[in-house]
Chains A and B, each alone.
Chain A
Amino acid sequence: MKPQIDVFKAGNQMAAQAAADINYHVMGYFPISPSTEVAQYLDMMGVNGQHDIQLIAADGEHGAAGICYGAATAGARVFNATSANGLMYMLEQLPVQSGTRYPMVLNLVNRAVSGPLNIHCDHSDLYFALNAGWVILTGANPQQVYDLNIMALKIAEHQDVRLPAIVSYDGYITSHQKHNVKVFENAQDVREFVGEMKREGYDFVIPETAPVTVGAHMKGDDFMNNRYQLEVAQTHALRVFEEVAAEYEALSGRKYELVETYQMEDAEIGLVILNSSADIAKSAIDKMRAEGKKVGLVRPNIVRPFPAEALTQALKDVKVIVMGERADSAGAKGGNLSHDLKAALHDANMTTPVITRIYGLGGKEFYASDAEAVVTLGYDFLADETVEKFGYYGVNPGDSEKGQLIQRSLEPRPVSDYVTGKITTTFNEEKNKVDVKVPPLRMLTSKPKRLVNGHGACPGCGIFSGLELFFKGIEGEIVIVNQTGCAYVVTAGYPYSSYQQHYVHNLFQSGPATLSGIAEALFEMRHRGEITFADSATFVMVSGDGGMDIGMGSAIGTALRGHKLIMLEYDNQGYMNTGAQMSYSTPLGNRTSTTNVGKVRVGKQYAHKDTAQIMAACNMPYVFTGSEAYPLDLVKKAAKAQWYANNVGPVYGKILIACPLNWKSADHDGTNVVKAATDCGFFPLYEVEQGLTTITVDPEAKKRVPVEDWVGYMGKSRHLLKPENEAILAKTKAEIERRYNQLKAKHDSEYL
């Protein structure tokens, strides 16, 4: 055995620790709760030189999987972590990786697949992965996360397997709970265990080696055989798991079998259950044993390949099998693993009844008492065979009286409430521009907000002051679509909603597309005379800068298609909803949870994305930037945006908003800091109307403030004022200047 030390850590830390111990070459990743911390911990270690893994923040999980695949074809050791819809977005890439036979390790931190959106644990993501051709290991606690991560790579790279592998563990329960765990004192022992990356005998894309072609398409005759190779490799993986587990036991003293059994010796009822719930259920088993009930538990350590023989062996003497499943295959009367198990029993000529209960979806708590209730169903069935073999455990009919909250309680506002008549927009043919007249903003306080009070955003959050200020400029009804992000999460958390207007949430990548569909459907139904609504109805897609990273394609597509709608981005320079990871809009050198400040790296390594210019290049009728620091400017732009969206086509606007929590700025400084961003030239306020650029708030007309003023407001950037970071600050200033001068040139010339 190799020396180990005791630590107190959570599952995500253990996955990161295992990755650092192994010293993978590349991690391509995209943040999604609850898996994001894996990349964060690795970045934290990486900026201080504790490993050499190249952490690449992708544009989305699809991109992350692509980075991983590319790196694997280049002969690198590759690592990733994701959850739920992250897995769904990369799902297309998974069979590519397995079908072309490039090993890697992906941590799947189990979370419910949306919708409704839910960030908590269930196994619906895992079940989608079952058919991807990957080896899938499943762990119950942080110790197992560490151990299985080390074993997974060795299994994946084994000459008889050569498949990518998933390590699945429960979101929040295992990923975030800190436990007593053991890790190897010397990473070298882990590196020796997994061995050097073997490249001889395999095909990799490495310059100056004999060229190979990866990914040729196949016809059926050949494809069948490719798939059969994969099936054979999966079958080998069971044996290889046992071999690697034996070696790992010698290294660690911890033994992993294909399936863990607990109190199964003489059990008459056997509970089969995955991951953390198995540990929780053990105390129920103990309690029932103390009461003289012969019950036991079986937990697979691997579900792909499916350990059919090990399971049927473990269950061969029980009278009833109770299967707890944390995901369902709706309509199939059992989740996927129930059916896998039943098939295995059938093949083993066993007729043991299987009672399946779907439990714990979306993180619904599963206590030991729940495990006891589920196991007791086995006895119920023995007493009375009419007990339903399939059902949901933990649902309730509800209480219509107490459930009134979700029914309408306020009078729907007439459209006229949102029309003050004090804003005028007229198209000026001569200038090819819209002339806007806006009254003193005091007069617009008569217009109701589009959201009612009571959202759960942080104190000082700039999102809602920014959005509502923009909405002040819009006369008439709006229909809002949000992509996932803080603005959504804090305004529409069941059973609460803050929206006085129609509102739809859809996931990242799909907000602009969803709103395109809404708008076009409504126009068509109105055209056919089926419905009526005023021309002033305005369609607004609200996204954070994160949504404009992962959803850039959808936004550009929507811009190019010319729908009559507004895409409004609130830019807080990071993925704040998931815990302040960098976005492409994060400025150079800024600290985020995935761009830490350390001895070998200081903050984000490249400059911020200029989304407004990207969108302007789509030649939309109107593009603007705005902020609450210049309220009249923003309200005017809103009025123009409405005119263009009502009459011509798509509008894009970016509002810079403060995130005091993650900018580490004072709550009360929200307006001041975005003002400084404009006044120093970092975030110039301008518009591109029918292709012509106009700077609307000229920082040079007043006294332009130094970049240091802006940087100094925020804890995430204040380190740039230190002498050792002088070069980064200089580079920041130069980039601000270059972009500002370019903008000025556009302002000055009708041809740019």
Chain B
Amino acid sequence: MSYDRRFATTWQLLLDSICTLMGLDANREPPIVLSSLPDLPYQRSGREGAAPLSFIQGPPGRNIALAIGLRAAKPNTPLVLIMSADSITLGTNHLIHAARRNIGMTLLLLRAEVTAAAAVDSMDRAGWDMPAYQRELETASRPLEWASALGASFVARADLEDPDQLAHLLHRAIDTPGFSVIGVTAGAQLQMGVLSENAWPEYFDAYREWTKPLLRLAVAGSQARAAPARSPTHVVPRFEVRIAGLGGHGVKLAGTVLSEAAGFHEGLWATQRGDYGSATRGGPSVVDVVMSSDPITYPAADHPDALIVLSQGAANRFAKDLKPGARVIIDPAEVSSLPAGAIAVPITALAREHTGKPIAAGIVSLGCVAALTDAVSLESLSRSMAAHVPRAIAEKNRAACAAGYAATRAAITGGVHV
């Protein structure tokens, strides 16, 4: 393979310039070069063994995104990207976001006339490697203007006919923290030199500053994470609970409180699965909790031992396929057609009475569950709530839970079935 004269010259020039940089300052980290342009000139010079440069030949257009990760890992290493037209067409999205965040790297954008034999007067006004008709039809890509508008630290244009200026600008770009771009042309009649400079902080420097307090927090809080494992206090065969209502009933929170009460405070195995739909309020919302003193295989309550129904839709959908002997508790205010054998507990009314809010319906439901099984006690529910309910309203929620328990006990012993 032979190189176009100007292509080879460009490579040699750029790499010489970068190597000079490496030689100039022994304290400086040597740069890493990224490019998807084909083969390196130095490989053809007969040199075997180690590469003189660290070089990444990433997929065309993706080197900017690759350099972002590299920058996070190596804060002090100059990253120099040598890119041509394909990098702009395939990698524009990456260029925009790296420039906008001012992530530290230096881009050398080789205009088409640098890498291809065809000399075109000014690619700034035309497209990149486009056929003539396309240049007539389309607006030009203006990557230097984009980078500048997005807040890149340093934007400049250099020409191969003045290699000293190119080397000078490259060194300045590398020394400027943040995102730098140099457009490289060949014999173009354009304004050369620095086009714009901004004083934005480099992204990962800013990130490290911002996260310093979090680092201290982690050191202080590292002991708090381990919770002692408890063995089961009593034998509980698999017990399935399904609580079904609408978004706004606090169903998901109820599932969390119940599964953690069983898992952490009763020493049982417990699973929680939900289908909360995409609506946060008003849409169907259901949570399944399975509790057992043995590890749980299937984590859904398809045939619940206890089904709590908080909406007509939930009654229609779930009040079937129950386990023999299962208990169904419905809120008569929400459900008009009641399944046979269901126990009526005014769940949302109790929620309003004790907390003023229907969202505590889920918590009241947990009191109902505690009345139906000895898998969880009011005590463990209360301890679990402490981790999930704001302290200011914890007492009200405990009262709501206890009210659900009492109403269910009364209904069972009084035989108030519908």
> Bound pair: A and B?
no
Identify the A interface with B (CB < 8 A): none
